[in-house]
Amino acid sequence: MQTTDQGLRIAGTEDSLKAGERGPTLLEDFHLREKIMRFDHERIPERVVHARGAGAHGHFQVYESLAGLTSAAFLQDPKATTPVFVRFSTVVGSRGSADTARDVRGFAAKFYTSEGNFDLVGNNMPVFFIQDGIKFPDLVHALKPDPRKEIPQAASAHDSFWDFVSLMPETAHMVMWVMSDRALPRSYRMMEGFGVHTFRLVNAAGETHLVKFHWKPKLGAHALVWDEAQLIAGRDPDFHRRDLWDAIAAGAFPEYELGIQVVPETDALRYGFDLLDPTKLLPEEVVPVRLVGKLTLTRNPSNYFSEVEQVAFCVANLVPGIDVTDDPLMQARLFSYLDTQLTRLGGPNFAELPINRPIVPVHNHQQDGFGRHAIPTSEANYHPNSIAGGMPKAATGPGAFAHVRERIDGQKLRKRSGSFADHFSQATLFVNSLSGPEREHLIDALRFELGKVERPEIRSRVIDEILAPVSLEVAREVASAIGVPPPGGRFHVSAHPPGQPTTSPALSLAITVPGGIATRKVAILASPGSSGRDIAALRKALVAGGAVVEVIAGTLGPIDDEDGKAVAVDKSFLTAASVMYDAVAVPSGEVGLGALYADPQARRFVLEAYRHGKAIALAGGARRFTAVWGAGEESGAAGDPAAEPGVVFGALGKEFTAAFVTAIGMHRHWGR
């Protein structure tokens, strides 16, 4: 029988104690508090989750006043800028794990506003695994390595995670996201962010609306492929943090637009699901995302530990005009984040650390404790007092935070609301919204993950209880590869909510593919005797579009081109690989081409780029490299419809470089 740490037997550990099924979580839930408190303090000093991170400073500006929706000061004046610190992260792995693991990514933003700090603590996926925060310790324990052997690190491909999933149908939607390309972002700069929960906006008149927060990267949302992610983990485990740092250092400042989906309070149950359910999203085709402002990251940290490691986010860091809802996962986070910092940062005074300190004065009666930075001088450290003239006293009027007043009427109970019961329809919506290649990647990911599960009963249960209700086709394709029987005829996809879309194009990364080449990394392969004119022409055209160009050769140091002129080499094949770049080009020059084609590392470089769907430019005689993927000399030419998608070859000129730039802007070419 499950008990508390005091030996008290527990009647239920699936739901927190609430005032009514859809009501707020109660502070008296000692089981929730003990369970979360024990979980929060399991690691010292590393974060239990989101341990692997990167951060940057920047600023936010709203496009137009949102006074009609919220009284939040930083959302009023388009001319004002608000300082922001953002931390990106993986969730499961330790600080020493690789950046490119298949995982959820954190996207947490701390706004230093004129009314205090506002933390928008989100992820790169709009939903979560569980509906109630009391299950968070169970989820993370299942995701983390086997406690006996600390294996595997930063991976969900193991028995305990899929055992948990197979027994918790509410995880189905999030599992589809984590098995998709969304779990392998190309860059933090090319990654969407979401507030996950439904928040409230409150205007000066006290009128409220429900809101979902979104971050939309200006560079578009793009992903790696699984094979590429694994290779990068070996070549450069710091791939994402290096990419972010280098871009900011080069002045290519990452930009994200803040978007909101706003609905009336009365519409919380209108859309066929409950807006308080964190395993659900609000389709953009039903309620469009309104872009209201822009975040620009302009400065790297001065010290990683002092800023990225010591930054303390909390869902409860709110400002007037933004409030929480009764989402039971959000309610637990209000407690959990604050509690976690007591262990991580050595006591209650973590808000006084420079990275956490608000830009407005702080006045209260907080006293002493580890790490105290402030030096209060008042004789009175209590309220009410007469010694200090009654100061500081409670704020009143505009600018003072006040919780939304709402009637609470319900029995005290541990029970899930019936409006949270649909676990599969949005998982089906997500799968149905993917492009063909994305769907293939999802199936391959499920085959890989479940192929690592040792217990056949768990594999079977995932097929029957999770995948089959989402998509019989996906379930059957996965089952055939992992050695378990396909789902039988009794299984069916769950009923779709009436009036809701059956597909949502916004959920697919394919719609964000076409674009420019700003900050894209392009490798030009060279060898002594390569055409220096080709290299210069390619570099000029690509840099004009904002791309980053590097020349790769067999050795470092300058090489002589076919005219005997020196060409600088940025990296060698020993330290560079195609997975580090978005595109590859091979210049003409017969002597150089002969040496390159004879080098197995150069051939592998081009072949990997081809296999990963990247743009490839082969100038002049470089078209011989088509043989590395089995094509002949007559496989097409630049502008020839017979050419493979994304592969450009022919004489280097304006048409050639224009075609290559266009191909890079497509990100991937799955039609090959």
Is residue 50 part of the annotated active site? The answer reads yes
Indicate the SS3 state at residue 565. coil
HSE of 419, CA atoms in CB hemisphere, 13 A:
18
Is the CB of residue 527 less than 8 Å from the CB of residue 561? no
Cα–Cα distance measured from residue 75 to residue 640, given in angstroms and rounded to the nearest whole number: 51
Instruction: Report the C-alpha gap between 467 and 473 in whole angstroms.
Output: 9
Is the separation of the CB atoms in 598 and 630 below 8 Å? no
**Nearest C-alpha neighbor of 645 from the set 660, 633, 630:** 660
Q: Which residue has the tokens 């039971």?
A: 328
Catalytic residue among 31, 57, 117, 123: 123
At a CB cut-off of 8 Å and minimum separation 6, what does 81 contact? Answer: 59, 60, 61
Pairing of strands 82-90, 521-525: unpaired
Say which DSSP state 323 is in.
E
- Report the half-sphere exposure of 532 (CA within 13 A, side-chain side): 14
CB 538 within 8 A of CB 652: yes
User: Is residue 204 within 8 Å of residue 71, measured between CB atoms?
Assistant: yes
**DSSP state, residue 223:** B
Q: What's the rounded Cα separation, in Å, for the pair 232 and 236? A: 5
User: What letter would DSSP give residue 246?
Assistant: H
Name the active-site residue from 50, 57, 222, 669: 50
- How far is 404 from 414, CA to CA, in rounded Å? 24
Cα–Cα distance, 242 to 581 (Å, whole number)? 13
Query: 351 φ, ψ to 5°?
Result: -70, -15
Looking at 168-208, list the stretches that DSSP marks H as alpha helix, in order from N- to C-terminal side: 172-178
- Round to whole Å and give the CA distance between 178 and 180: 5
**377 Cα distance to chain centroid:** 44
- Distance of alpha carbon 364 from alpha carbon 393, whole angstroms: 8
Distance CA 536, CA 517 (A): 18
CA-to-CA distance for 599 and 609, rounded, in angstroms?
A: 16
Residue 123 a catalytic site member:
yes
Q: Token match 């790769």: residue?
A: 552
Name the 3-class secondary structure at 122. strand
Tokens of 622: 């470089």
Cβ neighbours of residue 558 closer than 8 Å, sequence gap 6 or more: 566, 567, 568, 569
Cα–Cα distance for residue pair 614/604, rounded to 1 Å: 14
From CA 581, how far away is CA 579, in angstroms rounded?
5
Inter-CA distances, 461 with 139, 178, 469, 636, Å: 17, 19, 12, 49
| Other C-beta atoms lying within 10 Å of the C-beta of residue 549 | 20
Q: Is 229 in contact with 105 (CB distance < 8 Å)?
A: no
- Give burial (CB, 10 Å; 0-12/13-18/19+) of 59: middle
DSSP 329-356: HHHHHHHHHHHHHHHHTSSTTGGGSTTT
Indicate which residues carry an active-site annotation.
50, 123
